[in-house]
Amino acid sequence: MGAPSSSEVTSLLRAWSRGEEDALQKLMPLVYDQLHAAARRYMAGERVGHTLQTTALIHETYLRLVNIRQVEWKDRAHFLAVCAQLMRRILIDFARSRSYQKRGGAAPHINFDEKLIVGVEPDFNLVALDDALNRLAQVDERKSKVVELRFFGGLDIKETAEVMQVSPDTVMRDWKLAKVWLLRELRGGAVHGA
């Protein structure tokens, strides 16, 4: 089966927004591969033997989606952005429920990929990243959203721009500045070479 058309996904999202419950069941197989890729990115940074697996993360996301009401879905990118937010929340809630330390210790470690920090791969945990993103959102909510959509949601520059209703150039500027800001936060205020 080929990739679903954007209009097909958008049509199902709008049907779901109108209250057609079966639209979500029809939608999930069309976006499953993209959700699986996003969940795999999240889980790749988790410790070996983590009790939450990729498929379980997708299923938990689905359960939370079922409970979302009255969302005016715009398109596939908007849907994937919401799913990325849900996955992030699920993992953060899981980490916090396990009483992981804020930094280090038994907390799961993830690495920013090379798209986020070129040539530098610092270790940090998901809770520390979530805390840093929340601090960034207090300073500049748009930059925080760009990181969430690109890093966690796996959206490209164009898709991120569409979701946020800004230009791709704005997304690129926000992406670059957010990377530097987060690096500084995660390193405790010292940015090397920035």
Predicted local distance difference test score (pLDDT) of residue 181: 92
Is residue 111 scored above 90 in pLDDT?
A: no
* Range scoring the smallest mean pLDDT among 49-53, 65-69, 93-97, 159-163: 49-53
Residues belonging to the chain: 194
The torsion angle over the Cα atoms of residues 88, 90, 91 and 95, rounded to 10 degrees, is 130
Predicted local distance difference test score (pLDDT) of residue 99: 56
Predicted local distance difference test score (pLDDT) of residue 48: 62
Q: Is the pTM of this model over 0.85?
A: no
DSSP H stretches of helix in the chain: 6-17, 22-44, 54-66, 76-97, 126-139, 141-147, 157-164, 168-186
Strand 109-111, strand 123-125: pairing: antiparallel
Q: Amino acid identity, residue 167?
A: S
- Tell me the pLDDT band of 113, cut-offs 50, 70 and 90: very low
